């Protein structure tokens, strides 16, 4: 899979900080517990995840996530009625997925993959 080469720019560092912050929020904050439970239910093999993009709509939140280091998930959760089933789409991370991405999205994905691989290595050690 051909990823963008990271150069250590300020933009990349800003993205890295944002991804780490959203990762910590996903796994530790009450506000993201609904999203985390949906991910765990639909992806029981999940060991780590990073929120690539979040789109707050009128009645729902749409998240694009990297699950482990091989799956992209799109999760749509109703903001007000938790009884409404979430809409989940997933696809394998491969060159076909990369073709449609713009440069900024490719940078975010490359950094998220780097972070996910570190998490997975640390998971293996424990």
Looking up tokens 């998220």 gives 112
- What pLDDT score does 34 carry? 87
d(CA 88, CA 107): 24
- What pLDDT score does 100 carry? 83
**Residue 32 pLDDT class (50, 70, 90 cuts):** confident
The mean pLDDT of 58-69, rounded to a whole number, is: 95
Residue 99, phi then psi, degrees to nearest 5:
-55, -35
- The pTM of this model reads 0.92
CA dihedral sign, ordered 26, 36, 64, 124 = positive
């Amino acid at each position: 899979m051909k990823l963008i080469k990271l150069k250590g720019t300020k933009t990349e560092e800003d993205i890295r900080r944002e991804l780490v912050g959203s990762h910590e929020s996903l796994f530790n904050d009450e506000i993201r517990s609904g999203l985390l439970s949906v991910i765990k239910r639909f992806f029981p093999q999940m060991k780590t995840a990073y929120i690539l993009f979040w789109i707050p709509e009128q009645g729902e939140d749409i998240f694009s996530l990297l699950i482990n280091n091989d799956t992209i998930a799109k999760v749509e959760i109703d903001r007000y009625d938790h009884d409404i089933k979430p809409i989940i789409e997933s696809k394998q991370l491969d060159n076909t997925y990369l073709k449609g991405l713009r440069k900024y999205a490719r940078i975010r994905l490359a950094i998220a993959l780097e972070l996910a691989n570190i998490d997975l290595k640390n998971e293996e050690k424990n």
